[in-house]
């Protein structure tokens, strides 16, 4: 915490940090919240440090668009601190909905708002990393499936085939981590802002619909078309959509063993494996 306060003080000179608190740590960043003022994001690993400028470029592109919600706006340049990098972004008011709460209308509003953001050249250049790595299906087939328990390998390959058999749809902006604490609402239920765009990418918007199952699958079913709901369930069934997005958009699989350790409990909780 002390090192984060030092970084925040360097990025935000003159800002009172007495009320600063450490947010729940993610896999990529540590985040210091300065209520009403800023969130300071500090990389945890070399890859996160290297990719922070691109992630900030996504926020700049989004901030320049005419969005029906707020996004964090970078307040400082990406700044190195030893082997870490850090940036301060603007504070977003509002609070997230608790798990399992929210109406179909609210879910539909978020999905439509994100999907309707134009993928113009500037935003597409910032979010599209597909040319930089292998296709996500190759990552799963080559790096993930052979590491799974044998009882799951054939079943996950079957689910992979089902996902690959989905009819192609035009790319839309996909947030990649909707739900949970990343969507902020006013006290009277108005959508205020969407934060944490680290996994944003051009993809099937049904991926975001699957992520909104934070509010309950029945709520998602009533919020989207039957086709989108089917696609969302197919994407999620593969490895859990929250895990799946980590394989997409050219992202390197830096720790396949760690990834599988996270996926197997989800598989075991989700359903029965194929017979050996």
CATH number at residue 7: 3.30.200.20
Whether the per-residue pLDDT at 275 is higher than 50: the answer is: no
Residues 150-208 have pLDDT tens digits of: 999 999 999 999 999 999 999 999 999 998 889 999 999 999 999 999 999 999 999 99
Distance in angstroms between the alpha carbons of the first and the last residue of the chain: 48
Q: Are residues 194 and 221 in the same domain?
A: yes
Segment 68-80 mean pLDDT: 94
Average model confidence (pLDDT) for the chain?
A: 92
Segment 52-73 mean pLDDT: 90
DSSP per-residue string spanning 7-49 = HHHHHSTT---TT-EEPPP-SSEEEEEETTTEEEEEESSHHHH
Residue 183 lies in a domain: yes
Residue 218 lies in a domain: yes
**Considering the chain, what percentage of its residues have pLDDT values greater than 90?**
76
Residue with tokens 């947010």: 23
Q: Which domain holds residue 184?
A: 104-270
Entry pTM: 0.91
Residue 255 lies in a domain: yes
Residue 99 lies in a domain: no
Q: Are residues 23 and 111 in the same domain?
A: no
Residue 148 lies in a domain: yes
Q: Are residues 74 and 165 in the same domain?
A: no
Residues 3-14 have pLDDT tens digits of: 899 999 999 999
Give the other-Cβ count within 10 Å of 204's Cβ.
23
The CATH number linked to 222 is 3.90.1200.10
Whether the per-residue pLDDT at 271 is higher than 70: the answer is: no
Q: Are residues 239 and 122 in the same domain?
A: yes
> Residue 159 region, left (φ>0) first, then alpha (ψ -120 to 50), else beta?
alpha
Q: Are residues 137 and 30 in the same domain?
A: no
- Our count of domains for the chain comes to 2
**Considering the chain, what percentage of its residues have pLDDT values greater than 70?**
96
**d(C-alpha 152, C-alpha 267), whole Å:** 8
Segment 82-108 mean pLDDT: 94
Whether the per-residue pLDDT at 252 is higher than 90: the answer is: no
Tokens for 107? Answer: 């879910």
Whether the per-residue pLDDT at 228 is higher than 70: the answer is: yes
Residue 71 lies in a domain: yes
């Amino acid at each position: 915490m002390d090192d984060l306060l030092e970084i925040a003080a360097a990025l935000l000179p003159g800002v009172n940090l007495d009320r600063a608190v450490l947010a729940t740590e993610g896999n990529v960043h540590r985040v210091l919240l300065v209520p009403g003022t800023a969130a300071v994001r500090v990389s945890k690993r070399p890859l996160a440090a290297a990719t922070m400028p691109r992630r900030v470029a996504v926020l700049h592109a989004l901030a320049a668009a005419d969005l029906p919600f707020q996004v964090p706006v970078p307040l400082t340049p990406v700044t190195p601190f030893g082997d870490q990098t850090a940036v301060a972004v603007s504070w977003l008011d509002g609070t997230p909905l608790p798990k399992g709460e929210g109406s179909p209308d609210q879910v539909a509003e978020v999905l439509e708002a994100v999907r309707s953001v134009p993928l113009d050249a500037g935003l597409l250049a910032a979010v599209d990393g597909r040319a930089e790595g292998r296709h996500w299906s190759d990552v799963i087939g080559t790096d993930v499936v052979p590491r799974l328990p044998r009882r799951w390998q054939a079943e996950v390959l079957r689910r992979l085939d089902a996902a690959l058999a989905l009819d192609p749809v035009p790319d839309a902006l996909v947030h990649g981590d909707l739900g949970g604490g990343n969507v902020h609402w006013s006290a009277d239920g108005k959508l205020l802002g969407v934060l944490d765009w680290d996994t944003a990418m051009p993809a099937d918007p049904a991926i975001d619909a699957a992520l909104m199952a934070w509010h309950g699958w029945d709520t998602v079913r009533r919020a989207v078309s039957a086709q989108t709901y089917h696609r969302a369930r197919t994407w999620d069934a593969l490895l859990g959509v929250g895990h799946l997005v980590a394989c997409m958009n050219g992202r390197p699989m830096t720790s396949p063993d760690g990834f599988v350790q996270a996926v197997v409990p989800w598989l075991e909780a989700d359903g029965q494996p194929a017979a050996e």
